[in-house]
Amino acid sequence: MYIDFHKPQPIYLQMIDEIKRSLARGELQPGEKIPSQRERAQVSRINPNTVQRAYREMEAIGLTVTVRGQGTFITTDMSVLNKVRDEMTNQAIHTFIEEMSALGYCSEEIQAAVQDYMTNVGTKED
């Protein structure tokens, strides 16, 4: 998993965000096993204390479940997963609206611009 760590946010939060994005994109499935902390530190060459912090935080918010002797798994609790998806969606919209506002667009103009874009360009980029 490649992460561009140039943002000023703490690295452990960026690691969690990347897991959330992978979930939203469907690259990670509910109940899927994720690498152990040691593997993650080794493969991504990230400080093991940082990895530990990210894993603890994911466990605390219920995103992952650790089974002793078996490893760490993405939760199968759909309410948590839906919440993560909503959160990611809101975040993306928030960023978009902020940038449009900075360009001087008002609410109606933004809606019109999105409508326009969807009609002309569609979603074929997917």
Partner 1 sequence: MRNEPLLLELQQVRKQYGTTQALNGVSVKISSGVIVGFLGQNGCGKTTLFDVIAGISRPTSGEVRIQGRKPSHRTKAMIAYMADRDFLYGWMTVGQIVDFYASFCSDWDEDRADAFMHSLALDPSDHISSLSKGFRARIKMLLALSRKAPLVLLDEPFTGVDPISKDLIVSSMMHTFQFGEQTILLSTHGTAGIDLLMDEIVLMKKGAIALHDTTERLRTELGGAISNIWREAAL
For partner 1, which is the closer residue by CB, 14 or 22? Answer: 14
For partner 1, which is the closer residue by CB, 6 or 68? Answer: 6
CA 20, distance to chain mean position in Å, is 3
- Of 47, 49, 72, 61, residue with least CA distance to 17: 61
For partner 1, which is the closer residue by CB, 8 or 122? Answer: 8
Applying CB under 8 A, the residues found at the interface with partner 1 are 5-11, 38, 41-50, 52
Q: Compute the C-alpha angle 82/18/26, nearest 5°.
A: 50
3-state secondary structure of 46: coil
Nearest approach, Cβ of residue 1 and partner 1 (Å): 13
Nearest approach, Cβ of residue 2 and partner 1 (Å): 12
Nearest approach, Cβ of residue 51 and partner 1 (Å): 8
- Which residues have CB under 8 Å from 1's CB, separation 6+? 18, 22, 44
